[in-house]
Amino acid sequence: MSPSVSRRTFVTASLATGAAVAVGSEASPALAAPPAEVRSGPRIAVIGSGYGGAVAARSLAEAGRRVDLIEMGADWEAMSSSSGPVFPGMRSPNERSMWFKNRTDMPFSYLGGLDIINRPIRRAAGVLDIETFAGIKVYLGRGVGGGSLVNGGMAVTPSRSFFEKVLPSVDAAEMYDTYFPRARQQLLVTEPPLDIVMNSPWYQFARVSALQAKKVGYRHQLVPNVYDFDYLRKETFKQVPRSALVGEVMFGNNYGKRSLPKSILRTALATNRVNLIPMTEVTQLSQRPDGTFELSLRTIDFWGKETERRTAVYDRVVLAAGSEGTSRLLLKAKRYGTVKGLPDAIGQYWGPNGNVMLARRMWGYPTGMHQSTIPVLGVSNWDDSERSVFAEIAPFPTGIELHTGVYLAITNNPNTGKFTWDDQRRNVHLDWGPSHAKPGVDAVRAFFDPINRAHSGTAYRADVFERRQQFADYFTYHPLGGAVLGEATDLSGEVKGVPGLFVMDGSLIPAKIGVNPFVTITALAERNMDRLIAGHRF
Ligand SMILES: Cc1cc2nc3c(=O)[nH]c(=O)nc-3n(C[C@H](O)[C@H](O)[C@H](O)COP(=O)(O)OP(=O)(O)OC[C@H]3O[C@@H](n4cnc5c(N)ncnc54)[C@H](O)[C@@H]3O)c2cc1C
């Protein structure tokens, strides 16, 4: 049996034990010792198993390297074999829903200004996390697959002109000829079929909003997705268990969605060269005098009880812990001097991809009692100017007719934020707040005001967000930046001044990319890994 298979089997058993602990004792098994293996090639760690980490692990394994893939969250895929669906769905949350929270915290969870959608839950290593900074909340996926476990699966390629503005040092022709197509193919992206978009009652909400935007001259566009639309068609006719059609998304999808464990990570693990180490957080990164890296590792069980602390030494380390996870490890190492020579650009050029969320009351325009959680349409006036908006038409699947349109708008906000190290809290501080977000909010208001004016009975709804905000700029799904390509790293993702240390996730993209980001994160990782492997950096 290969090391990766035995490791995965162990973790399944461990998580199953965790479930038993819920009704029994608090005991949990100690972590098994890693299997002995003959070393060949450099010892490589990839930290984080989202888009960047998945591509890094697969590329290295396909190039014949052995990789430890270290992930602080659970290996949900390994739980699939146990009886029943793994994920609880949005209307019946439980301890698998959120990462160590006493209560769910959904992004738009208010009705009539009252918090009636959130529910108390048991604290455990659930799949959706929120990192709360002084001026913004960042939603994240936790577990093997990172953000792919909780996101809407919208797989959008940015316009080439905007990509060239954001990352001018990257060869756009190569990206658009080779790496974006490869990313879409690896991620199993397809276009939503027109019969579903045009006729399904579950997409009434999307059609209504698209038509209203069209009336004032905005473009509307089909949005590709990793969801299996053949599965969705079968869900409609109840031929298979329902997933997108019964509110599954932010607390995980049980069926239909081809998240990373069903695409790139599956390929990576099939090589038997990737040793998956879930439930294990890298708490510190240090460089030793001989140039190797020492990682401090902390393993917990599903209920948060520490089961092991240890250190491990690697010749190469790939940071793929997401924008805030990677920035945290790098800034901590810089502040405490555990890695010398880290560049000053670490922590800079952060942004929420210009995210602003809003809801519109649309009396007289039914949006449907039943709404699919997988978005298929967007509306846009994008021309690369600061008034540009690309708005995904998002569902609000409450099971009742709310006459409400919900949108996640992506803007070309020129502001950037910055992570710094906070000595008192021994954690990162993020300098971002309402004043940073204002240009994005202004663009969104200018975009939606004409739609409201052209449709009587429509107006912004403030009662679905915290503090009755009309334009929710206090949270983001799309954190980007903090270790930007060409600034904190060289043009392939190797950290400047620290050979052998690499960044491979959303941290590389400065602040925004004009569309939902995971296709770009994946394509950039594909490009960087090709360059690094060809350049014998591993
Ligand atoms: C609710 C929601 C909806 C979204 N919808 C979309 C969408 O439709 N389309 C789109 O393009 N994007 C969407 N996104 C954003 C997208 O998921 C992220 O941009 C993407 O996941 C970022 O990829 P990444 O590789 O940078 O990091 P991540 O996917 O965040 O992966 C980082 C991984 O590293 C792990 N980690 C962090 N720190 C450590 C540590 N110290 N030790 C070990 N492991 C660690 C984390 O647990 C995580 O699994 C959405 C996000 C959310 C939260």
Q: Between residues 12 and 505, which one has the greater pLDDT?
A: 505
Position 22 pLDDT exceeds 70 = no
pLDDT at res. 328: 98
Average pLDDT in the chain: 92
Give me the pLDDT at residue 107, please.
86
Answer yes or no: is the C-beta of 252 below 6 A from any ligand 1 atom.
Answer: no
pLDDT at 474 over 50: yes
More confident residue, 238 or 89: 238
Interval 205-214 mean pLDDT: 98
* Listed range (8-22, 245-259, 494-508) with the worst mean pLDDT: 8-22
30 has pLDDT over 70: no
Structure confidence at residue 215 (pLDDT): 97
**Which residues does the annotation mark as catalytic?**
392, 478
Global ipTM: 0.99
pLDDT in tens, 306-344: 999 999 999 999 999 999 999 999 999 999 999 999 999
Residue 181 reports pLDDT greater than 80: yes
Q: Residue 449: pLDDT above 60?
A: yes
Domain boundaries, the chain: 3-83+259-350+481-534, 110-118+151-257+353-476
Residue 512: partners with Cβ closer than 8 Å, 6 or more residues away: 166, 351, 353, 354, 410, 411, 412, 413, 480
Domain spanning 110-118+151-257+353-476: CATH 1.10.10.1400:
no
Q: Yes or no: say if 219 and 43 are a contact pair by the CB < 8 Å rule.
A: no
Q: Is the pLDDT of residue 446 over 80?
A: yes
Q: The domain at 3-83+259-350+481-534 falls in which architecture?
A: 3-Layer(bba) Sandwich (3.50)
Judge whether residue 136 has pLDDT over 70. yes
Convert 259-284 to b/e letters by CB count within 10 Å (16 or more is b): bbbbbbbebbbebebbbbbbbbbbeb
How confident is the model over 452-467, as a mean pLDDT?
Answer: 94
Q: How far is the CA of 322 from the centre of ligand 1 (A)?
A: 6
pLDDT exceeds cutoff 80 at 55 = yes
Return the sign of the alpha-carbon dihedral for residues 427, 473, 463, 142.
negative
What is the mean pLDDT of the segment spanning 245-269? 97
Among residues of the chain, what percentage have pLDDT more than 90? Answer: 87
| pLDDT number for residue 39 | 53
Buried b / exposed e over 146-182, threshold 16 CB at 10 Å, is bbbbbbbbbbbbbbeebbbebbeebeeeebbeebbeb
**Buried (b) or exposed (e) across 67-102, using 16+ Cβ within 10 A?**
bbbbbbbbbbbbbeeeeebbbbbbeebbbbbbbebe
Q: Ligand 1: which of 87, 130, 151, 350 to mutate, judged by most atoms within 8 Å of the beta carbon?
A: 151
Residue of 70, 71, 137, 319 with the most ligand 1 atoms within 8 Å of its CB, for mutation: 71
Indicate if ligand 1 lies below 6 Å from the C-beta of 510: no
What is the structure's pLDDT at 26? 35
> 365 alpha carbon to ligand 1 midpoint, in Å?
35
